[in-house]
Amino acid sequence: MTETVQFRGTRSDISRLANLVGRILSGTEPDQHGIAKGFALTLGFAALSDIKDAYVMKSRGGTDEMGVTWPKLSQAYVAYHRRFGPGEKARLKQAAGLGRAHRTAPGNKPGLLTKAQLKRWRGIYSGLLRRFLLSEGEREAKSHAARIAWSIIKKEGAKTMLEVFGNRQVEILRDTGVLLNSLSPGQLTGSGENIGYLKPGGAGGSEQIMEAEGGHVIVGTNVAYASRHQRGGDGVPARPFLPDEQHPVPRVWWERWLAVANRALVVSVQIFFRRAA
């Protein structure tokens, strides 16, 4: 769509002012009319919108426009460490034919055994352990005895947390919502030379990075564990949510940002020409 900006002056004036606008927006000329910040904030908002949409896509097992698909969560993590929604644990236990009495495990840990099943497990385990210690090291003997004890009581009807909770459908990197919120667009306020930006409310919002100055805009997050998930490490697989050297900004993002930049440029030129007239 073509936009028209009206200005009274010579072609030389227009050319000079247009070049000046370009230098202001690139940060090489002082921004006396306050147009560069609004231009940069608008682009930053557009970038965060794409980053958030891509994050949600990957969290649900999809592939984003960078071509990135996140590794699935392990069954063990989902079963033992991922939070449960309101009433979720009770519903899953009920679906598996379990009740309130199924709540313990060896080592006085939370689990899905009844007291009778736990007593049975301990009896099998202790008998096997005494025998295995005659020919195996302590660590190996304990592991061997535990595997057989679990195998026996599972055949008798016992269920493990891995079986009951390990296959539940959860979204990746959306346990607390902190990281996603820190990467979600907030709110552009005002308009024209009075444009401003409010970071998203809620947990993680204050950790968002939105820096618009000096002819550029930087968006990102200061959440403490973000880097570990972006790059991987400490046993955590990489799940990139920001473009980087291996996953550059996709062409479709550049095209959307260019369209936003064109509209923001018109506003900037209108403000500048009005102030400069």
CB 222 within 8 A of CB 209: yes
State the pTM of this model: 0.84
Rg for the chain (alpha carbons), in Å? Answer: 29
Per-residue pLDDT of the chain (277 residues; tens, 9 = 90+): 555 556 565 666 556 655 656 666 676 767 666 677 888 898 899 999 999 999 999 999 999 999 999 999 999 999 999 999 999 999 999 999 999 999 999 999 999 999 999 999 999 999 999 999 999 999 999 999 999 999 999 999 999 999 999 999 999 999 999 999 999 999 999 776 678 899 999 999 999 999 987 678 999 999 999 999 999 998 899 999 999 999 999 999 999 998 988 787 777 767 766 666 5
Alpha carbon 16 to chain centroid distance?
Answer: 45
Q: Distance between CA 122 and CA 113 in Å, rounded?
A: 12
272: left (phi over 0), alpha (psi -120 to 50) or beta: alpha
